[in-house]
Chain A
C-alpha cells in the first residue's frame, strides 16, 4: 500500500525565511539577465521610522492650544547664517530635488505650481534648470551636482538658493544613471550628450574633494552670486554627526540630510536596500553636531527620506530639524502609482504602489517619463493643485499635533513631546521607551 493511500501525515511545505520567494525570484532574474536590478525610489525594507514614535500630548503638566483658534505658526526662514537674502517659507515642508530628465517637464511644472501655491520651495535636479520650473516656482533651489549637467552662471544667479549635492540617502557614495530610453532631444541638449546613450552622473564632484575644498567651492559660489542666496549642502545619511559638522565648518547656510528611505530616479536595488542610515537614526547625531558647534537654528537642518504625513513632519521637527523635504510623497500626490492605472501597471509586470521602474520611462502616470504621449497625461495645473492640497493637509496635521502638545510654533516641538514604541526607535532617536524615562544608551542609565 502506498503512503498516499494510508494518508500518512506529511511535513508541510515550508518556505525558507532566508531563501524567500522574492529572493529566489531575484536569483533567477539575475541568472537569466546577468545584470543587477536597477529601480527608482528609496529603501522598501522595514526600518525603524517615525511610525515608531508617538506624541504624548498635553494634560495637567502641559496645557494645549485651542485647535482652529489659537495660532500655531508654521513659517521657517532658511539661510540666515551668511546669505543676504534668506528664504522665507510659509511651511516647513519643501520639495526635494528631482531632475528634468528623470521627470517630465509637466511633472516639474506641477511641482513648481503646487509648491508655490503652498508657500514653499521646489528644487531642480541633475539636469539643469528648465524654464518651466523656474517660471512656475516662486522659490527655486538650484542643485549643484557632480555631473554639472546644464550648469551655468545665469541659472545660478536666477536661483533663490544653491544646494551643493554631496550625496543622497538612497545611494550615499553612489552616482546615478539616466538610461538611454529617457534621453530625448531636449534632455540630451541640456546635458551636452548624444541622444539615446546612458548618461552617467558622477558620484564625486569633478573639482573638489573633502571638506577643505568644499569650503573653497562654497566661497567661489558665493563670490559668483554676490553672497546673496543661501547655500545648502545635501548629504546622504551615513555619518551624520561628522558630515553635518564638516558641512558647517565648510560654510553651509543649510544642511540637508537624506535618510535611506529617500528616493532616487534610478540606482541598483542592492545599493538602495543595503547602504545608508534610516532617516530616524540620522536626526539626533545631526542635531547634536549643530548644538556642539553652537549653530543649531542658525544653520538650518532639513531632513528628508520617508516623510509622508504631518505626523512625520512634527516628529522630525520635534527631534530638532528646521524643515523637511519630500520627493516620493510629492510624486504620489501628483499621481504616481495611482490604482486607476492598474491595468497598465499589470502590463508592465507590476502593480500600483509597487511600480519603481522609473528609469525605463514608461510611467503610465506620465511623471517619470520623457515619452510625449505619456507625459501629456499629467495636467500640470491639476497635479499642482493636488500637491498644494497635500502640502496643506500635512501642515494642518502637524499644527494639530503641535497645538495638542501646547506649542504655538511647529519649531517649539521638542524631544520631550515624544515617546518611543520600540527599543530600536528609542535607541536611534534617543527618546524614552513609552511608559519609561529610559532609552538604550542614555547617559547615566548604566546600560
Chain B
C-alpha cells in the first residue's frame, strides 16, 4: 500500500504520481489521507489501480477516470466521477450535485444519497445510488443506466435521450419527455448485474423503469409547451 498524505503533500504531486502509473504497475494499492474536501483529487487516472481516499472530497473527485478503482470513504462534492470513461468510483457517503455528469463509461456507486442533477448528460456511465436522488437527475441523459434504490426528486429524466432509469422508490415527478416504460427481461438482466456489481441487496423486480418517450427528438412546434 502506497500512501499520499494531502496534509503534507500537494495535490499536484498526488495526481502526477497516480497519473504516471503504467498499466503494468506493481504499485496497485494506494491510499490518500487527509483529503479534507480538496478539489480534483485523483483526476485523469489511466491505470488499473485501487485508490482509497480516506475522508471526504471536494469537486470533481475521480474526474475523467479511466481504469482505476477509486473508493471514497466519506462523502463527495459536486461532479464526482464527471466524464468518467471506465473503472469504478465508490462513495461510501453522500454525493453532491452533478454526480457522474457526462460520464461515458465505468461504474459509479453512491452508498448514500445523491443531490440534484445526478447523471446529467450521462453518455454511457452506469450509476447506482443506494439512497435517494435530487431533482433534474439524468437531465438530457444520452446513454447508460441510472439505478436509484430510494426515491427520485422532481423532473426525473427531463429531455431524456437513450439513458435507462430504474427507480425502486417513488418518483416525485417526471421531466419533459420522460415516461415509465415496461420492464422487460433484458432490463431485469441489466439491473441484476448492476445491483450485483454495486453490492446492493435488492431485487430487480422491485424497480420500475423510465425512459424517453422520444417525442421531442425532432423539433415540432406543437410540442413547444413541453419546453
A residues touching B (Cβ–Cβ < 8 Å)? 33-35, 147-148, 151-153, 156, 177, 179-180, 191-194, 196-198, 200, 202, 206-208, 213, 216-217, 219-220, 223-227
Q: CB of B175 within 8 A of chain A?
A: no
Judging by beta carbons under 8 Å apart, are B219 and A177 in contact?
A: yes
The answer for the CA separation of A153 and B87 in the assembled complex, in Å, is: 14
Instruction: Indicate which residue in B44, B59, B120, B139 contacts A213 across the interface (CB closer than 8 Å).
Output: B59
The answer for the CA separation of A225 and B142 in the assembled complex, in Å, is: 26
Given A220-B40, A224-B43, A152-B64 contact (CB < 8 Å): yes
Given A148-B102, A216-B58, A153-B85 contact (CB < 8 Å): yes
Report chain A residues within 8 Å CB of B35. Answer: none
B-side interface size class: 35 or more
Instruction: Indicate which residue in B39, B44, B78, B117 contacts A219 across the interface (CB closer than 8 Å).
Output: B39
B218 vs chain A, min Cβ distance (A): 5
Question: Can you list, as one digit per residue, whether each of B79-120 has a CB less than 8 Å from chain A (1) or not (0)?
Answer: 100110100000000000110011010000000000001001
Instruction: Indicate which residue in B16, B98, B104, B162 contacts A206 across the interface (CB closer than 8 Å).
Output: B98
CB under 8 Å from chain A, chain B span 107-153: 117, 120-121, 123-124, 139-140, 142-143
Judging by beta carbons under 8 Å apart, are B101 and A206 in contact?
A: yes
A194 vs chain B, min Cβ distance (A): 7
Instruction: Indicate which residue in B82, B83, B101 contacts A152 across the interface (CB closer than 8 Å).
Output: B83
Judging by beta carbons under 8 Å apart, are B11 and A151 in contact?
A: no
Report chain A residues within 8 Å CB of B97. Answer: 207
The answer for the CA separation of A223 and B117 in the assembled complex, in Å, is: 24
The answer for the CA separation of A200 and B218 in the assembled complex, in Å, is: 10
Report chain A residues within 8 Å CB of B11. Answer: 223
The answer for the CA separation of A39 and B82 in the assembled complex, in Å, is: 33
Instruction: Indicate which residue in B43, B98, B123, B142 contacts A207 across the interface (CB closer than 8 Å).
Output: B98
Report chain B residues within 8 Å CB of A193. Answer: 142, 161-162
A422 vs chain B, min Cβ distance (A): 40
The DSSP consensus for interface residues of chain A is loop
The answer for the CA separation of A223 and B14 in the assembled complex, in Å, is: 10
Q: CB of B15 within 8 A of chain A?
A: yes
Could you list some 17 contacts between A and B, CB below 8 A? Answer: A34-B221, A147-B121, A193-B142, A193-B161, A193-B162, A194-B161, A197-B217, A198-B218, A206-B101, A207-B60, A207-B78, A208-B59, A213-B59, A216-B40, A220-B43, A225-B44, A227-B12
Report chain A residues within 8 Å CB of B19. Answer: 226
A149 vs chain B, min Cβ distance (A): 8
A36 vs chain B, min Cβ distance (A): 9
Given A156-B64, A197-B218, A207-B101, A148-B121 contact (CB < 8 Å): yes
Judging by beta carbons under 8 Å apart, are A200 and B140 in contact?
A: yes
What 4 A-B pairs are tightest by C-beta distance, nearest first? Answer: A224-B44, A207-B79, A197-B217, A207-B98
Nearest B residue to A222, CB-CB: B40
Instruction: Indicate which residue in B39, B104, B161, B218 contacts A216 across the interface (CB closer than 8 Å).
Output: B39
Judging by beta carbons under 8 Å apart, are B12 and A152 in contact?
A: no
Q: CB of B52 within 8 A of chain A?
A: no
Q: CB of B69 within 8 A of chain A?
A: no
Nearest A residue to B84, CB-CB: A153
Q: CB of B157 within 8 A of chain A?
A: no
Given A153-B64, A202-B121, A207-B60, A192-B40 contact (CB < 8 Å): no
Q: CB of B46 within 8 A of chain A?
A: yes
Highest count of chain A CB atoms <10 Å: which of B40, B85, B97: B40
B10 vs chain A, min Cβ distance (A): 11
The answer for the CA separation of A199 and B12 in the assembled complex, in Å, is: 37
Q: CB of B159 within 8 A of chain A?
A: yes
Q: CB of B204 within 8 A of chain A?
A: no
Instruction: Indicate which residue in B44, B102, B124, B218 contacts A153 across the interface (CB closer than 8 Å).
Output: B44
Judging by beta carbons under 8 Å apart, are B219 and A220 in contact?
A: no
